[in-house]
A and B are shown apart, each in its own frame.
Chain A
């Protein structure tokens, strides 16, 4: 056991309280407290802030907390204390040295954030599905933040759970067998993993002529988008194939947007909107109250007008143990007053993301 840092433990409790509907969260107050905390304890971050003349004394709004680019996680140990775990970004082309590392000193905070958001956006109906994860087991990929999140989901929110990616990649036959058995029993299933794994699964279903019909309430959570896909697949095509091969309707397909560098995730609004009777709302990526995203003009780093495209900059309070404000290499836009859409990735940006989990050999 490591000693919990007081602020992080306090924030964990606050997130837990929000998750059970018992409290609201004053984002700005927390953001400023956390900035002061990180400025004090995170030396590389403090140095960068001082170079820009930014200190806690001069920051009055959460929007003014300086961001760090994702590239910084490739070169510096951005942590406020000894890490309990180090998560590493995926990516194959530039080798292990080019991978970003997110040092997380307080794993309970990540756990609280991840589970609360997952429950809110993927299981808003309180279902406890059987979980089939199209990712390696934690023993194979202890440094994957997605795998860690899936483990918690399986343990806390699911019925039982299975890991369907082995050292050789997605175990297609076992996956089809598991899905077939679940379908036969009419079980509610959560099938979760990188979009690329779903494409492999769809192709296998097509080749074998499988058209499964998973039980009522079954749902899909995919992440990673186009990264690592063996063939192009539009979002509409993804929904179509989920229906054709799994019997899961598009409104039960939830895309997750997450990054190794963040302890919080955004999720497709489809399922929670449907559950709350907002069927006509546009699909968008929603966040829990402790994650805010600004869409910034690349030239000025000021917010673009609503709906315009810019660089995504996330402010994640659950990153209290490292750096909360992360300037990404993703392009996106706001949708409505509570969501965003990711429209692409900066051209030439280093390939990364959980879509590449399948392309990597699991460590021995």
Chain B
């Protein structure tokens, strides 16, 4: 499987021009047809045997992990969910009307810490009525062209509005063309990468820098400790903890059926159990070193206990301050007197999602929104974001279209 080669700025310019012309041909098409085509393409994409075979090597994931996560990506492109998103953001009846016209070209520069970021990127741009260029990251140049291929099979006109490309970062001529022409550039990656790109964008720019997530278990959640521990372990293990939705810390309310430290042990056991289904991939020396440093340092830190095994590393840490672990299935478990105290412990602007095992999270929402959290969901679903996820607290279609709105923090049940 070979990603499409775009080697010259002239070639990229020509392909963008073609996508823009294709967009004009869809001017009268109802958005419902677009949503249906995207959903059908996602279904075909997740069954692409060539992609399933080739992706593990480039994405540095075990084949079992790829097999487990592609369906999670595809399910977000559900036709009904897309219709609901469109109606919610663009108004009642919008799904039966043509797409908005105010944004002609969206450029996505994707990170590749987790694979298949291209799918929601393409889908949202299509629903916003824009032609879209997706520049894939180094570790997944395959998902985007595979999706475009699937889309072409069900809706060649819509597929013609999509340009997928990969080139190594720093190819400045290509980046000039891409960033200079886009009405909106959506940039995902490390802070230095974002800083290097953002200043060259001609239109509006939306950035998604590094963020982390946390999980929390209330006293009532501890009533089903085994199930909750398994759900949290799954959230930790999926994508090898490389994404911004991966929990790096778990806050457990004291005073429940199970002590927080005992929950940490259940979590360590659950992580070990998951390795049978999702064996950890052999990680780079940097990640293994980070795990070693975490373990060794924690053993010398008062109030901490290291519970490590083949499934990963759980550090029970009485100090509740948020200190994110690094990837490789490692997580800190902190006791907390009350979940009400959690928002104040989270660093403002750094936490994307809170996975929750507690009966009623609504009281927490205002304070979490203030801390920059965009999403609350049940544990076990942290890695299954809907397309409507207001990443960075912005409604996804409104952000592309430049519509201002209140910062969002959604609650999934």
Q: Which residues of A contact B (CB under 8 A)?
A: 48, 68-72, 74-76, 297-299, 301, 309-311, 327, 329, 331, 344, 346-349
Contact = CB atoms under 8 A, between A and B. Distances in A.
Interface in B276-324: 285-293, 296-302, 324
Contact of A75 (B288, B290, B302): B302
Nearest to B287: A347
B290 A347 contact: yes
B289 A331 contact: yes
Interface string B161-186: 00000000000000000000000000
A88 B286 CA distance: 26
B283 to A, nearest CB: 9
Nearest to B302: A75
Nearest to A78: B300
Contact of B292 (A48, A70, A74, A299): A299
Contact of B293 (A68, A309, A349): A349
Given A298-B285, A310-B285, 5 more contacts: A69-B293, A71-B293, A311-B292, A344-B286, A346-B326
B291 A298 contact: yes
Nearest to B291: A298
A331 to B, nearest CB: 6
A49 B9 CA distance: 62
B324 to A, nearest CB: 7
A347 B326 contact: yes
B300 A48 contact: yes
B293 A329 contact: yes
A69 B297 contact: yes
A346 B299 CA distance: 18
Contacts of B287: 347
Nearest to A329: B293
Interface of B: 285-293, 296-302, 324-326
A297 B289 CA distance: 8
Contacts of A349: 290, 293
A83 to B, nearest CB: 19
Per CB-CB distance, the 6 closest pairs between chain A and chain B, nearest first, are A71-B297, A72-B300, A69-B296, A298-B288, A298-B292, A298-B289
A348 B301 contact: no
A259 to B, nearest CB: 14
A309 to B, nearest CB: 5
Contacts of A298: 285, 288-289, 291-292
Contacts of B285: 298, 309-310, 331
Contacts of B325: 348
Given A298-B285, A347-B286, A76 B300 contact: yes
Nearest to A328: B293
Contacts of A346: 286, 289-290, 293, 326
15 contacts: A48-B299, A70-B297, A71-B298, A72-B300, A75-B300, A297-B288, A298-B285, A298-B289, A298-B291, A299-B288, A299-B292, A311-B293, A331-B286, A331-B289, A347-B290
Contacts of A310: 285, 289
A311 B291 CA distance: 11
Nearest to B296: A69
Nearest to A312: B289
A80 to B, nearest CB: 17
A75 B301 CA distance: 6
Interface centre among A48, A68, A71, A331 (most CB of B within 10 A): A71
Contacts of A311: 289, 292-293
Contacts of B299: 48, 69
Nearest to A296: B292
B228 to A, nearest CB: 27
A74 B298 CA distance: 11
Contacts of B293: 69, 71, 311, 329, 346, 349
Contacts of A331: 285-286, 289
A301 B299 CA distance: 16
Contacts of B291: 298
B286 A71 contact: no
A347 B293 CA distance: 10
Interface centre among A301, A329, A348, A349 (most CB of B within 10 A): A348
Given A346-B289, A346-B290, A348-B290, A71 B296 contact: yes
Contacts of A68: 300
Nearest to B295: A69
Nearest to A304: B285
Nearest to A333: B285
A130 B291 CA distance: 45
Nearest to B304: A75
Contacts of B302: 75
Contacts of A347: 286-287, 290, 326
A275 to B, nearest CB: 35
